[in-house]
Amino acid sequence: MTKQDNVQTTLLTGEGDALSDQLVSFRQMVLERGRDLYRDLPWRRSRDPYEVWISEVMLQQTQVSRVDGRWQRWLERFPSIEALARAEAAEVLDEWQGLGYNRRALSVWHAAQQVAEAGGVMPSEAAQLVALPGIGPATAAGIRAFALDLPGVYLETNVRTVFLHELFPEAEKVPDRVLVPLVDACCPKDASDPYDDPRTWYFALLDYGAWLKRSIPNPSRRSAGHVRQSRFEGSHRQKRAMAVRVLLARGEAGVTAEGLAKELSEQEQSAGRGPVCVEDAQALLSELACEGFCSANGDVWSI
């Protein structure tokens, strides 16, 4: 048993995973900090599962300031699951530009199509949610907590930050398997107390965690799963994003591998980097096609 496992054991009494006095105090402190640090974000005023879902996906690895405004614009363009399901891939990708990780946009689109085909109502059970494209355990727990006030293990970066800072202050490489039972035990199991329900509790964790990251060295770096994000400029990810933008700009006319290589080379060379060869552009288009971003008609590729 590791040192982190020992800490977990002392925090849970073993009697139906009841909370120790330390965890009771921890919860009271987090709720108080949450009230003091509460952020009145637009998506927090909604309890619509679709609207909450879109906010959760947009906020993955994206700053809150970038999502505020984009979330509202998305809902103006795709106000319902049915509207999103009826949209074309190019429309969805166009609206997503600037939020990063274009795969998320396609996953949301495909999931909306599945939900629409099943009647248009977002499922409420965690197992049904994670069966949809792009929805993992944390996103499912966020939808359940913030839209439906249902309990679950919502273990995302700010939540992880609070648990590591307060309960594992000296530990390094803390695995999520140690944190999950604690997150589960601390989450209220019903919504009978409006000041301490799943929705309020996780808002408090998010806001306290965000404050900690601005105030001290990020505690989540002490997570066993922490990976330093690779540089974006000049990376393969950047070339993928640029290629998607070129495909969107060309519309139905599409682009050839030679044409894409020329446009990418111009952008790369303007940034002081080397040109992109036709073979690399062809490989990039093939990669995007395998993921459903585009398709080929002869030697012309389009979304």
Q: Which residues are catalytic?
A: 56
- How are beta strands 300-302 and 295-297 bridged, if at all? antiparallel
Task: Take residue 25 and report the two structure tokens written for it.
Answer: 């105090």
Rg (CA), the chain: 22
Residue 292 CA to residue 136 CA, distance in Å, equals 20
* Cβ atoms within 10 Å of 100's Cβ, excluding its own: 17
Residue 258 CA to residue 280 CA, distance in Å, equals 10
Tell me how many degrees the CA angle 47-78-255 measures, rounded to the nearest 5. 140
Provide the residue type at 200 as one letter.
T
Residue 67 CA to residue 43 CA, distance in Å, equals 10
3-state secondary structure (DSSP) of residue 155? coil
> Do 111 and 124 contact (CB within 8 A), yes or no?
no
Q: Of 216, 225, 114, 222, which is closest to residue 163 (Cα–Cα)? A: 222
